[in-house]
Amino acid sequence: MARKKKTTLSDNSSKKTNAYIAGSGEVVEEQITDTLVTNYMPYAVSVIVSRALPEIDGFKPSHRKLLYTMYKMGLLTGNKTKSANIVGQTMKLNPHGDQAIYETMVRLARGNEALLHPYVESKGNFGKAYSRDMAYAAPRYTEAKLDPICAELFRDIDKDTVDFVPNYDNETTEPTLFPTTFPNILVNNNMGIAVSMASNVCSFNLKEVCEAAIGLIKDPNFNISSVMQGPDFPGGGFIVYDEAEMEKIFRTGRGSVRVRSKYSYDPEDHCIEITEIPPTTTIEQIKDKIVELAKNGKLRDINYIRDESDLSGLKIAIDIKKNTDPDKLMKKLFKMTTLEDSFSCNFNILIAGYPKVMGVYEILEEWTAFRRLCVERRVSFELGKKKDKLHLLKGLGKILLDIDKAVKIVRETEEEAMVVPNLMIGFGIDEIQAEYVAEIRLRHLNREYILKRISETEQLEKDIAEMESVLADRKKIYDIIISELKNVIKEYAQPRKTMFAYPDDSDEEEEENDTPDYAVNIFLSKEGYFKKITPQSLRMSGEQKLKEGDYVLYSSESTNRAELLFFTDKAQVYKSSASVFPDTKASAMGDFVPVKLGFDEGESLHSMVETTDYEGFLVFIYENGKAAKVPLSEYQTKTNRRKLTGAYSDKSPLVKVFSVKENAFVALLTDSGRFIVFNTALIPPKNSRSTQGVQCMRLKSGVKLNNAWVVKDEELERYEKHIVKNIPVVGFIPKDDPGQMEWK
């Protein structure tokens, strides 16, 4: 890379630069972008190619180094050995530390239950993939060996089926890929995060994957959906089947599947038992969320939840109230917790060193091409061995013509170095054949032995001819691959663990509101304290407890299902419901709303509106004499948003806000004593929450509208003289003594 001109640290360049000290001690300047490319790009490429993404054999380098070490240790057929021993041996190939190696082994182990077909047969505590807190034991306590299915990973690895490269210190070699006899990349899940890209491959049933591969080999237009139904997760559960999304995953390698937990209900103990959960969650995450919902009053039908997982497997027990419908409760839990969760597919795989996102179709095609090359290399290797053996036996056949002559040549040769040349001359054979003859033991220099060995020649010639025909005919290569796939199905196939649930109409229906519905009395004080009191408790109570100087701003007879809108002085509204607040007594202070709902710093409560159906209008009265009418439905949200900005106009301070079903008479009073009563029908409704409204009273400079209230029907006769039919107006100064009028 070309360096920039020599400079000093005091130079002021318009471009961002990086200064470094050259070997001569001078300060040299280079552009920051060059430094980033030089230092960061090699790291990024290394993470993508050599660490995070799986290759077509289904493994990352860390997996491959561990499993190959175990294979070389004889752990495919031998007894288990301490995990610490395996970890130590693996460091000859993987120098990144024993802890990282052991964590890799844990995930590959049968005891961890993270894989559909584990590669490591384990003994001891290897933790559980479905538990966040269940830690695995140290490697000095656990033991492991290779699972029998690994025989398919290493089959014929010593027959030049894959390339080998030197390890990091050139002391030994390791394979670049495993010659796996089945599409392992799709059989076990694999997740990795690289730089600027990631991979998340879900697992599929072994039998289904092999049958799909066979189908595509026989017919490139084969529809794999006829044999592959969808992913098969090691933790079981149910996939909520979506045919279009599944086809998208098969074709593109991207998409998501919804996985639902499996549960059963014990009516005697009123207990729901969850035994299978999605692969994207843990027991602790589910428990924490259910406890949180119960504390917030959103799940009132649950008495207790506990983790009953043991050696027999996962189990979450939920004790529910006697009259609770378990199926309805579980539907609610599926929507509110990770008992139903989405698995996002991103089949990003390294092909010839380059990352590529592929669908299942393309992955199977790439694996077939890879496996075809492995089989061709194996056949070529075996062909070479048989040709070499045939060559030796043909030389041995010539010795059969005169064994005594061969013995005489060896016996009469004075120098050992001349034995091979003399045999070559005496029988007309080449050096390799002569070396072979010269190494035959004396006890084998008999006619029976030589005839027995030569009898193999005919079979060797047949085998060589067959192998050459295989290499010349790709169809025969595919027949071998298909035969191996069928053998894998026969030996290792297992029933699906993840079943399918098909959405019905009830899944699409709006969630039924099962919040307990009962009468309550609602109280809100000026300082922002909220109380919800049942009528029975209110009848038995004394006076309302309030802070000194505080008073009840709002009270009403309502229901526990009422929706509450708390308007603040910052033109925001916080949405909640009466059910969120606990039942209390008049003698209690109540909940402080700004803290309960998490108001912004410096934000204060202005007023509250309650509704059960979001029908009607909100009428906003401002200090500048304007009023706005907004449909209450504008504050209804389909999502769980609890804070809405721009809840009303902030051009003038808000005096009051009312909720009216149709239209109502509203009284306005200024600080100068002028007063009017008008019907809200005079205000045109606006669908914008932040509308400034229309002028209702004309105010002189310095005059403010400081009070407003809804006039009850029985009071209309009293205010009849002050009702106006048009707005805006200046207003009246009442002839009656204001002290005798019930100003609100």
Alpha-carbon distance of 456 to 396, in angstroms, equals 12
Residues forming beta bridges with residue 679, ordered by sequence position? 665
Answer whether the bond into residue 728 is a cis peptide, omega within 30°. yes
Q: With cut-offs at 50, 70 and 90, classify the pLDDT of residue 18.
A: low
**Up-side HSE of residue 538: CA atoms within 13 Å toward CB?**
14
Range 679-691 average pLDDT: 89
With a cut of 50, say whether residue 742 has pLDDT above it: no
DSSP state of 112: G
With a cut of 90, say whether residue 91 has pLDDT above it: yes
* Residues designated catalytic: 141
With a cut of 60, say whether residue 509 has pLDDT above it: no
With a cut of 90, say whether residue 478 has pLDDT above it: yes
Range 526-531 average pLDDT: 91
pLDDT of residue 561: 86
The sign of the torsion formed by the CA atoms of 730, 733, 738, 740 equals: negative
With a cut of 50, say whether residue 534 has pLDDT above it: yes
pLDDT of residue 11: 45
Token pair 């029933």 is at which residue?
A: 495
- The total number of residues written for the chain in this structure: 744
Residues 6+ apart with CB under 8 A from 229: 205, 208, 496, 500
Which comes out higher in pLDDT, residue 28 or 599? Answer: 599
CA 232 to chain centre: 15
Most confident segment among 40-44, 113-117, 642-646: 113-117
pLDDT of residue 504: 65
pLDDT of residue 42: 85
Range 474-502 average pLDDT: 95
pLDDT of residue 16: 59
Range 186-209 average pLDDT: 93
With a cut of 80, say whether residue 735 has pLDDT above it: no
708-723 confidence digits (pLDDT tens): 988 888 888 888 888 8
Question: Are residues 514 and 557 in contact, defined by beta-carbon separation less than 8 angstroms?
Answer: no
331-360 confidence digits (pLDDT tens): 999 999 999 999 999 999 999 989 999 999
120-158 confidence digits (pLDDT tens): 999 999 999 999 999 999 999 999 999 999 999 999 999
Query: Which domains are delineated in the chain?
Result: 53-180 (3.90.199.10), 262-338 (3.30.1360.40), 373-492 (1.10.268.10), 515-611 (no CATH), 613-744 (2.120.10.90)
pLDDT of residue 639: 63
Alpha-carbon distance of 258 to 241, in angstroms, equals 8
Average pLDDT, the chain: 88
With a cut of 60, say whether residue 5 has pLDDT above it: no
pLDDT of residue 24: 60
pLDDT of residue 4: 42
Alpha-carbon distance of 722 to 438, in angstroms, equals 132
Most confident segment among 30-39, 120-129, 579-588: 120-129
With a cut of 50, say whether residue 13 has pLDDT above it: no
Q: With cut-offs at 50, 70 and 90, classify the pLDDT of residue 736.
A: low
With a cut of 60, say whether residue 230 has pLDDT above it: yes
Instruction: Phi first, then psi: give them for residue 541, nearest 5 degrees.
Output: -95, 165
In 603-677, alpha helices (H)? none
Q: With cut-offs at 50, 70 and 90, classify the pLDDT of residue 307.
A: very high
Which comes out higher in pLDDT, residue 197 or 17? Answer: 197
pTM given for the model: 0.70
Which comes out higher in pLDDT, residue 307 or 442? Answer: 307
Using alpha carbons only, how large is the chain's radius of gyration in Å? 41
With a cut of 60, say whether residue 619 has pLDDT above it: yes
Range 591-605 average pLDDT: 88
Question: Are residues 541 and 533 in contact, defined by beta-carbon separation less than 8 angstroms?
Answer: yes
pLDDT of residue 22: 58
pLDDT of residue 471: 94
Instruction: Phi first, then psi: give them for residue 318, nearest 5 degrees.
Output: -125, 110
pLDDT of residue 129: 94
Alpha-carbon distance of 360 to 253, in angstroms, equals 6
Range 512-529 average pLDDT: 82
pLDDT of residue 14: 44
The sign of the torsion formed by the CA atoms of 146, 149, 154, 155 equals: positive
Give 39-82 as a DSSP string: HHHHHHHHHIIIIIS-BTTS--HHHHHHHHHHHHTTTTTS--EE
pLDDT of residue 25: 63
Alpha-carbon distance of 75 to 227, in angstroms, equals 34
pLDDT of residue 452: 79
Q: With cut-offs at 50, 70 and 90, classify the pLDDT of residue 3.
A: very low
With a cut of 90, say whether residue 514 has pLDDT above it: no
Range 106-116 average pLDDT: 95
pLDDT of residue 498: 96
- Give the least confident one: 31-35, 104-108, 236-240, 370-374: 31-35
Question: Are residues 504 and 229 in contact, defined by beta-carbon separation less than 8 angstroms?
Answer: no
With a cut of 60, say whether residue 305 has pLDDT above it: yes
With a cut of 70, say whether residue 641 has pLDDT above it: no
Alpha-carbon distance of 434 to 392, in angstroms, equals 9
Q: What percent of the chain has pLDDT over 70?
A: 93
409-448 confidence digits (pLDDT tens): 888 888 888 989 998 988 889 999 888 888 887 777 777 7
